[in-house]
Amino acid sequence: MTLQRPDAARMARSVAQGYVSARELLETCVQRIEATDARINAFAVRTLERARKEADAVDARRAAGEILPALAGVPYAVKNLFDVQGEVTLAGSKVNRSHAPARQDAFLVQQMHKAGAILVGALNMDEYAYGFTTENSHYGATHNPHDLQRTAGGSSGGSGAAVAAGQVPIALASDTNGSIRVPSSFCGVWGLKPTFGRLSRHGTYPFVQSIDHLGPLADSVESLALSYDALQGPDPRDPASRAERVQPTFSSLGQGVQGLRIGSLGGYFEDLATAPARQVAALAASVLRATPGVVWPEPALARSAAFITTASEGGRLHLADLKKQMADFEPLSVDRFIAGALQPAAWYLRAQQFRRVYRDRVNALFADWDVLLAPATPLSAPLLGAEWIEINGQQYPCRPSIGLLSQPISFSGCPVVTAPMWPGGTGGMPIGVQIITAPWREDLALRVAQVLQDAGVAHLKQVKL
């Protein structure tokens, strides 16, 4: 069954046209959170007093006859590494509890406020974003709304679960090695990892500065595009930000895929995918008439370089706290932080040298292709607590291997939309497909995503909880 509740785009239209008030939408959202979150554990913080003030302000603007902004009245939530004024930015940690509350909202939260969206809280995550399963030892695991025994993915598991469960239609998150795409895949929602540098990261707790991306998860392609457009804007406080490339995408939806050169990645991206993951990629390729067997350059080396970069930058960032409060770190990731802090500098430098060559080779692919397809995860969501997964008869360690197909893409900096699809052989669990384009061409990825949505092969499913 496809999604029955109104998506964010329709919510905004209904508020603007006076069919429903922002306060009414908010209270419906709050009721859903209260009815479901004891089982899902998506929310780390609820900002309901703030949300009610924001909703009432939207309703006052409409009563005064103002033209409302694009997301007016739409509830949303953010991963718990975004600064929210008056709240401590925990980033899923115990160590950060002693930090002072944020003095102002993160830049992207400010952008959502300008667009009229209503912030209802902050969402659970792997500590300091180092994980793929949101099995947080401090605040509890987030459960997949489609099967409460399974992971929602990570590190933005709360974001994926909150959208899948109908708690909010939009959630903001981060993606370093796959942390938007993995929860989107496991929870069956839409996700967008933009081009590296597209959206400002100011006011968010970092993980790996040279790879961190921010972006939205949403309940439809239209909602994804609306939120992405609202998030764009100049911000010199993030040195990686490329504000001069602001590009609206919502207006480009509906243009279809005629004339686009679409390929499907083979080799590594088939060999390290289970049969259901290959099935969804093949279905997307069939709908889009994609050419099979496109070779992505050096994906295994890129993943290795991403691991080295992640460990080195993450370990260095937390070294002082590791020396003083090691016992307060997440048991599932503390050893990796320590190991990263001890890595030879030469490894890190070599990984960065490879990355420069790698990016050139990836970008060269897009001289021949406009869009490339691949599974987002090797399989559907594993059980919580799983230590091993099986891919085509081979055993792999569960937590790091969930990112097999996402890490090589994020290390290139290319934008990716994850489309939620529903293969056989998974017990009704989703697996996402990555829609990959050249840097700064998020518009093409969203156009392709809408074609898959309109064809009925990519969509959310209603969750009964």
Q: Minimal CA–CA distance to 122: which of 79, 90, 72?
A: 79
Closest CA to 36 of 462, 420, 418, 380: 462
**The tokens of 147 are what?**
């099967």
- CA 256/CA 446 separation, integer angstroms: 10
Q: Cα-flanking dihedrals φ and ψ of residue 227, to 5°?
A: -70, -40
Which of the following is catalytic: 21, 179, 210, 312?
179
Query: Distance between CA atoms of 298 and 305, rounded to whole angstroms?
Result: 11
Task: Mention every residue, 6+ apart, whose C-beta is less than 8 A from residue 132.
Answer: 126, 153, 154, 155, 177, 178, 179, 182, 399, 400, 402, 403
Q: Which of 77, 50, 45 is nearest to 161 (CA)?
A: 77
**Using CA atoms, how far apart are residues 31 and 105, in angstroms rounded to an integer?**
25
Q: What's the gap between Cα 61 and its chain centre? A: 31
* DSSP one-letter code for 258: T
Q: Are 7 and 169 in contact (CB under 8 A)?
A: yes
17 near 6, Cβ under 8 Å?
Answer: no
Angle between helices 22-40 and 48-63 (to 10 degrees): 160
Q: Kind and range of the H or E element at 70?
A: none
* Annotated catalytic residue 227: no
CA angle 185, 204, 142 (to 5 degrees): 40
Widest Cα–Cα separation across the chain: 64
Residues shown for the chain:
465
Which of 14, 21, 79, 210 is an active site residue? 79
How far, in Å, are 100, 117, 149, 184, 209 from residue 177 at the CA level? Answer: 29, 28, 24, 13, 12
Starting at the edge strand found earlier in the chain, the sheet holding 75-79 runs 43-46, 118-123, 75-79, 170-175, 213-218, 190-193, 416-421, 431-437, 371-375, 262-265, 291-294
Q: Is 323 labeled as catalytic in the residue annotation? A: no
Is 155 marked active-site?
yes
Local structure of 394: helix, strand or coil: strand
Give me the catalytic one of 155, 174, 200, 241: 155
Residues forming the active site:
79, 155, 179
